[in-house]
Amino acid sequence: MAISHSFASLYLSLALFCMTHVLASPILPRQAGLPSLTPSQISAFRPFTFYASAAYCRPAQLSSWTCGKNCQANPSFQPIAAGGDGNDIQFWMPLLTDADFILDELDTRLFPGLPEGIKVHNGFGEAHAETAADVLAAVRKAISQSGLRQVTVVGHSLALLNGVFLPLNLNIPNVQVRTVTYGMPRVGNKAFATYVDQNVRIDRVTNQDDFVPILPGRFLGFRHSQGEKHIQADLSWLACPGGDNTDKRCSVGDVKNIFRGSLDDHSGQ
């Protein structure tokens, strides 16, 4: 199933999953053996893939869960809310200027008590701040109505706006959060990546020669968190330890620069 071509989109999904502990994310060179995911482990990501793709539907379609095959793939899902005003804020995500590559501090009102030195892409941080209150309210409502204590945040590409930030500012006791992203770019500096590793259970799925995960560049001070699952040309999946793993079987080592990347691989074709 292909994910839509639109570069900037997000989807929020609630599901029942458990949380595990993650560690810091050094940059690792090529390793002799990388863990392979089993067919059953790969299959477990399939529902999330459809959720991520459904995010490209209009909010009205999401609210009624009538977005075609992407909704039909998870027929028992019950939407709580869908956002966006159809103008500056699309699908609960403001339009971004992706050329802004400035590392800046997060809004302390949304992220109180963050350690010093943590910085993120200023465009990502500002866009998240514009919709954070509405998204958090919807998540709290869903948790209250469902009684569930586990949240899975799912998204494609710029899903980082909630996929990474939401678990850090949800602040609801006894609620476990898992994040599954597809084709996610780098979000912040090394300090931010380390903080995410220590506080968020994240699976970063990267597809073959998709160039978006190598952006913004490391030379600008950006780093990835852990959790990469890289899809190979033969459609097998490998778990890549660390953050920016330079093994050629992982995203950073596989796609040396954007000219060697593929937009089709980013869209999931």
Query: Per residue in 217-250, pLDDT tens?
Result: 999 999 999 999 999 999 999 999 999 999 999 9
Q: Strand ranges (DSSP E) for the chain? A: 11-12, 89-90, 93-94, 103-104, 120-121, 150-156, 176-182, 201-207, 228-231, 237-240
Pairwise CA distance, residues 178 & 60, whole Å: 26
For the question of whether the overall pTM of this predicted structure is more than 0.85, the answer is no
pLDDT in tens, 15-53: 322 222 223 334 444 456 899 999 999 999 999 999 999
Query: Which residues, given as ranges, of the chain have pLDDT below 50?
Result: 1-30, 85-90, 92, 94-98
pLDDT for position 255: 96
Closest C-alpha among 92, 58, 72 to residue 1: 72
Closest CA to 121 of 60, 193, 197, 44: 193
Please tell me the predicted confidence (pLDDT) of residue 33.
85
Length of the chain: 269
pLDDT recorded at residue 17:
28
